Amino acid sequence: MTALKIYNTLARDKQTFVPMQEGKVRMYVCGMTVYDYCHLGHARVMVVFDMVQRWLRASDYAVTYVRNITDIDDKIIKRAVENGETISQLTSRFIQAMDEDAAALGVQKPDHEPRATAYVPQMLGLIEKLEAHGLAYKASDGDVNYSVRDFAGYGKLSGKSLDDLRAGERVELNTGKRDPLDFVLWKASKETEPDEVKWESKWGSGRPGWHIECSAMSNELLGEQFDIHGGGEDLQFPHHENEIAQSEGAHQHAFVNYWMHNGFIRVDNEKMSKSLGNFFTIRDVLKKYDAEVVRFFILRAHYRSPLNYSDAHLDDARHALTRLYTALKDVPDDGQPLDREEAHAKRFADAMNDDFNTPIAISVLFDLANEVNKTRSAALARQLRALAGIVALLQRSPQEFLQAAPASGGDDSLSEEQIAAQIEARAAAKKARNFADADRIRADLLAAGIVLEDKPGGITEWRRA
């Protein structure tokens, strides 16, 4: 099997993965800010890094996977105040919703899911270290800021120079920053803010800035230096750049060995945004499409490429996944474990080891499905199900998937009882040699998205189109 290679954003190159400790991987991924329902961009982050940790475990690594929850933030405070509820009431509700969405998409819970509010002492400790190294200062407005120009490596992740950043900066009024590029580590409390978001510190009452949260939580749970840090492409700058500045500034050595970033989601080739009216929550999409179809749609694209969402692409993903399940429908697997030395398994592993190339890995699944259709081989059916299972696909019974109704259970969706009654009426029409009625029933069912398949012995099976 080939060695795992990962595209390292920091190196701008695909590199052979060498863990800090043999056989062990420590990975941190920036999670959600919980003030609203998760959207498709969140779905991609969750599914992509779930796939990554699953492949690492399938490759016999002992993985410690941390994905944080940001439960203190300007947007959270604003939303809670608008709703007339406490911060914890708001965040608890949306954490539960996030967990439900993730579970529907087949995303396993991380090993650790730290909430920022539980790690404020660790954040304060990091800020003190930065102050001791001359990288943090208390400003005239009470905030504690990071002095960007005093950290020599700033910009190395994003490739942005300080001169480039200065050219594009906006002048901020009424701040105590020494330099417009400096960013906040500790925000001084405002009288109008709820007591729930005020912590005492040597610099006065306040709350943490966003960037320091991830530096503190990853340091506490994975150590001062670890293997992989991931997140969406939008976090590369400034969030991850600032994490490097904080963590390396505090500890005076390297922070992360491999940086991974997944690409953006676009909707009909436009950026997804509420202002454009093309903003979709995971819940919106799952009302229309099976959750496994959504997962398959995400994994069918390479994680670093842009992903274009549209109904046509989801429909195509559903038809493709249907082809895979159909191959397993009449060929039960032999119940044996995955044969890693089998040719398809080797090709699958080579693809996954090439920077998690799921499009190629999934093409191997289709090759296997074609072979199963031709040979009716139970051993190949087992390989198909087992390889797909590594990335959490094809784990339901084919009948369950093929007959599953849309999650929304819309008014135009026929129930299984209604379908059975129509199949029975068609059988009666055929028995009475009333073939025109039998054909009409078949056509009506097809128009309603139900495909009939007549089998030997007078048996009729059905699936949703």
DSSP string, 4-34: PEEEETTTTEEEE---SBTTEEEEEE---B-
- Take residue 390 and report the two structure tokens written for it: 């590594």
Please name every residue paired with 271 in a beta bridge, in sequence order, or none if there are none.
Answer: 266
211 annotated ligand binder: no
Instruction: List the beta strands (DSSP E) in 77-220.
Output: 136-138, 144-146, 183-188, 206-208
Helix or strand or coil: residue 270? strand
Residues 224, 140: Cα–Cα separation, whole Å: 31
Q: Which residues contact 363 (CB under 8 A, 6 or more apart)?
A: none
| Beta carbons of 69 and 95 less than 8 angstroms apart | yes
Residues 237, 232: Cα–Cα separation, whole Å: 10
239 annotated ligand binder: yes
Residues 115, 21: Cα–Cα separation, whole Å: 27
Q: Which residues contact 140 (CB under 8 A, 6 or more apart)?
A: 176
| Beta carbons of 422 and 441 less than 8 angstroms apart | yes
214 annotated ligand binder: yes
| Beta carbons of 282 and 31 less than 8 angstroms apart | no
| Beta carbons of 243 and 153 less than 8 angstroms apart | no
- Take residue 373 and report the two structure tokens written for it: 């259709």
Residues 399, 462: Cα–Cα separation, whole Å: 9
DSSP 104: H
Residues 52, 303: Cα–Cα separation, whole Å: 10
- In terms of Cβ atoms closer than 10 Å to its own Cβ (0-12, 13-18, 19+), residue 311 is exposed
DSSP string, 18-83: --SBTTEEEEEE---B-SS--BHHHHHHHHHHHHHHHHHHHTT-EEEEEE-BB---HHHHHHHHHH
Determine which helix (DSSP H) or strand (DSSP E) holds 145, and give its type and residue range: strand 144-146
- Take residue 315 and report the two structure tokens written for it: 């429909």
- Take residue 437 and report the two structure tokens written for it: 């009625």
Residue positions in the annotated binding site for ATP?
Answer: 274
Residue positions in the annotated binding site for Zn(2+)?
Answer: 30, 214, 239, 243
Residue positions in the annotated binding site?
Answer: 30, 214, 239, 243, 274
